[in-house]
A = this chain, B = another copy of it.
Amino acid sequence: MTETKARPTGVPQPTAPPLIAGNRVSAPAGHCTPAGDRHGASVIGGHDAMGTDEHEAPVILEQARGRVDPELRAALESLPGAMRRIGLYHFGWQHADGTPAAGNAGKAIRPALVLTAATALGGPTAGERAVRAAAAVELVHNFTLLHDDVMDRDASRRHRPTAWTVFGVPDAILAGDALQALALRLLAEDPHPASGAAATRLVDCVIELCEGQQADTALEKRDPAEVTLDEVLTMAEAKTGALIGCACAVGALYAGAGEDEVAALDAFGRQAGLAFQLIDDVIGIWGDPSRTGKPAGADLAARKKSLPVVAALTSGTPAAAELAELYARAYDEKDLERTALAVERAGGRDWAQTQAADRMGRAMQELARAVPDPESAGGLLTLAEFVTRRSS
């Protein structure tokens, strides 16, 4: 359910396998970026008068932000006083004192996926008509962030104090509740024929996100020896994959796609989301602190049962026993290097990188199934690779 806290931009994973260090090496050959003949026609629908390269992820994201922000902002402005103030603060459009701010609402990956999926399957008009649904998905994402920050007592997000630190825990909980309701209101008021089906998918997704977040906190309290790899994979899919899959599926619904295409795009998003989580967990152990903005081995210090750690613990190797013994002790900085090495020697790092590549491979298969035309699939491919490269 959480979004990894923002790291400084331009952070390639330092020891990335080819999948994530290179450019599209895992993609089917036919899915290479189409050339300039589509310049000027945005992959999220509509036309890009600027003539920029619409297949670069930052361009897609910026276009999506430009489309969705007015809808999002109008929705937030429609809220009553206190809910409006907290919502606008959370999205970065207001300072804590209610004065206007520049806005800093994250990378807009999920709304970009809605618009790009709709465009890929239904053309530019479908993308244009999915703006409200894209805003709804972004509202759901942000409702979960507001609540996650309360639950995790996280004090900063997007380089600003979190809402609960500014307005108090009760108000942050209430604002999260209101944003969930607002997301559903956008869909309830949307005359698009797919809005009902999108609402059903979105609320199912919220339930899965809640279960995933609950599983995460429950797992962290359990004896590491009793946690299975299947459990953490299921949790990661619910917490991270579900909403990315839902965004793609909602886009497909808004393109009038059939059940199979919708399911395939959901699976594409889920697999890409899992690949992202695997790579994020690798960075959480071996990432360069000067690039990640987090202390070295932060996840190990917190005794987090991240995917590489559970893979290592359940490997049945001598290094697994050593790791279990280290995890049973209170954290001591002098053990950090040895702990990371134990995860590596038990195969946790290799497993995570292989799994990430495997998940991206499956994502590509699902994408090809939903959008056989490589040119139409280009935007979704770019976004999936952007997410898993963690380049911003």
Interface residues of A (CB under 8 A from B): 79-83, 143-144, 147, 150-151, 169-171, 173-178, 180-182, 184-185, 188-189, 196, 199-200, 203-204, 206-208, 210-211, 213-215, 217-218
The CA-CA distance from A178 to B200 in the complex, in Å, is 13
Contacts A151-B170, A173-B151, A214-B171 given; does A181 touch B199 at CB 8 Å: no
The CA-CA distance from A181 to B151 in the complex, in Å, is 19
The CA-CA distance from A200 to B185 in the complex, in Å, is 6
Q: How far is the CB of A295 from chain B (nearest CB, A)?
A: 24
Q: Are the C-beta atoms of B206 and A188 separated by less than 8 Å?
A: no
Q: How far is the CB of A108 from chain B (nearest CB, A)?
A: 22
- Residue of B whose beta carbon sits closest to that of A79: B207
Q: Which residues of B contact A151 (CB under 8 A)?
A: 169-170, 173-174
The CA-CA distance from A217 to B81 in the complex, in Å, is 14
Could you list 14 A-B pairs, sorted by A, with CB under 8 Å? A79-B211, A80-B211, A83-B214, A144-B177, A147-B174, A151-B169, A151-B170, A170-B213, A170-B217, A177-B210, A178-B211, A181-B210, A182-B203, A188-B196
Partner of A177, one of B83, B182, B196, B206: B206
Q: Are the C-beta atoms of B181 and A82 separated by less than 8 Å?
A: no
Q: Which residues of B contact A211 (CB under 8 A)?
A: 79-83, 174, 178
Partner of A181, one of B83, B173, B203: B203
Q: A83-B214, A151-B169, A185-B207 are in contact. List 10 more A-B contacts (CB 8 A).
A: A83-B207, A83-B210, A83-B211, A171-B214, A174-B211, A174-B214, A175-B210, A181-B203, A182-B203, A196-B196
- Residue of B whose beta carbon sits closest to that of A209: B177
Q: Which residues of B contact A188 (CB under 8 A)?
A: 196, 199-200, 203
The CA-CA distance from A160 to B280 in the complex, in Å, is 42
- Residue of B whose beta carbon sits closest to that of A205: B181
Q: Which residues of B contact A215 (CB under 8 A)?
A: 82
The CA-CA distance from A195 to B207 in the complex, in Å, is 20
Q: How far is the CB of A78 from chain B (nearest CB, A)?
A: 9
Q: Are the C-beta atoms of B177 and A150 separated by less than 8 Å?
A: no
Pairs of residues from A and B, 8 with the lowest C-beta to C-beta distance, nearest first: A181-B206, A151-B170, A80-B211, A181-B203, A178-B210, A188-B200, A174-B210, A82-B214
